[in-house]
Amino acid sequence: MIVTLPQRHGIDLTVAAPPSKSFTHRALIAAALARGTSTIIHPLIADDTKLTMAALRRLGVHLEAGAHSVTIEGCDGAFSCPPGTVLDLDNSGTSLRLLTSAALLSDHPVTLTGSTRMQERPVGPLADALVALGGRISFEQKTDFPPITVRGRLEGGNATIDGSASSQFASSILMAAPYAQHEVTLSITGTPASQSYLDITAGVMTDFGAVIRREGYTQFQISNQNRYTGHTYVIEGDYSSASYFFALAAICGGRVAVTGLNPDSVQGDRLFLDALQEMGCQVTYAHDGVTIEHEGSLAGITIDMSSAPDTVQTLCMVAAVAKTPTVITGIGHLKYKESDRLAVTVERLRQLGGIANTDDDRIIIQPATLHGGTIDPANDHRTAMSFAVLGLGIGGVSITGAECVNKSFPGFWDAIKDVMG
């Protein structure tokens, strides 16, 4: 599927934020492990979350998904699946990583695998920590990379994990920890990548009944006496997906209101709004959403986006039309996403006349005169959506493989069709 974006200026748009992918993944897993029945209200139904649901079914969990809710009969921390169970998580890193620790709660070994790209995304730090907690881990092809087979039991005790590569390693252990044989103490070294996602994980866990004692982002103690209890859980709106609409107002000029957002959310991607405000946009918060307005030129900024990784590419698009340079730091871990997002963003911006460079941990974007072109997003949903927004600002940009947005935001193209005309 190819989508060509016309140039648009002075837009006026009101749109509802899609549900949070991060909250949906975690709520599904907590509900699956819980005692009793849970109803997940307003979940994100997208390719990634469908993979998590399919995997939970293969692990023996009864789950019924409707248009606006998912009902789950929890297994009380004991998955029941046949010998030789394989979970193919395709390109969903969140699904594979979060379910790796939970697989220790199965009565048989479980193998987790995925796409070619998934098999290039390391899980070694997670595997090492699970071994310390009682697991037996084997790599089926290449050490430290999927496919990975999980055996043993989650005994508990003390483990240390390097959080600098991915916060999902720590989140994986945290989510399974209430079902360990003994209390789990998880120490995190390094500065956790995307540390706000640990807040999301801890929040979902406590909402389902877990008890956590923590020291910031360096140590978490999880009780094994307080397990998950099934209940009704409402998924909040997603700031990551909302960022594309916020960027539309910044790049094209005009006004965009996004409803369905929690103004007090722990989502780190709220930082994107601070960045836009610093660049010259007007940001107005309401009880159920955010409005962005902008006219005139944008100023470049220097900003650490380590806590808001999923909006880095969107910010790069805004920076590409700013009048002064932008430096985005703290983003080295983006090399290990669905694509190497640092390299891909720089390469694609250059295709459109942009001036951009990257090194290990940052992107620098200079002012430039942009033009149309064809963008291959390398099957990365966030690349496709961010360049679509830039395309509406400059016109004549075609996105190939545009269906990849289904990974996190199946309604994206419909949501911007009124802007496209």
Contact by Cβ (8 Å): 29, 271: no
Strand 326-329's sheet: what is its strand order? 302-304, 326-329, 362-366, 355-358
Residue with tokens 């007007």: 282
Pairing of strands 135-139, 148-152: antiparallel
Give the 3-state DSSP-derived string for the chain, with helices as H, strands as E and coil as C: CCEEECCCCCEEEEEECCECHHHHHHHHHHHHHCECEEEEECCCCCHHHHHHHHHHHHCCCEEEECCCEEEEECCCCCECCCCCEEEECCCCHHHHHHHHHHHHHECCCEEEECCCCHHHCCCHHHHHHHHHCCEEEEECCCCCCCCEEEEECCCCEEEEEECCCCHHHHHHHHHHHHHCCCCEEEEEECCCCCCHHHHHHHHHHHHCCCCEEEECCCEEEECCCCCCECCEEECCECHHHHHHHHHHHHHHCEEEEEECCCCCCCCHHHHHHHHHHHHCCEEEEECCEEEEEECCCCCCCEEECCCCHHHHHHHHHHHHCCCCCEEEECCHHHHHCCCCHHHHHHHHHHHCCCEEEECCCEEEEECCCCCCEEECCCCCHHHHHHHHHHHHHHCCEEECCHHHHHHCCCCHHHHCHHHHC
Angstrom distances, CA of residue 310 to CA of 139, 177, 258, 342, 386:
29, 27, 17, 12, 10
> Which position has the token pair 């023996």?
60
Question: Side chain identity at 20, as an amino acid letter?
Answer: S
> What is the C-alpha separation between 421 and 411, in angstroms, rounded?
16
Active-site residue 199, yes or no?
Answer: no
Q: Of residues 48, 238, 310, 340, which has the active-site annotation?
A: 310
Looking at residue 299, its amino acid is: A
Residues serving a catalytic function are 310
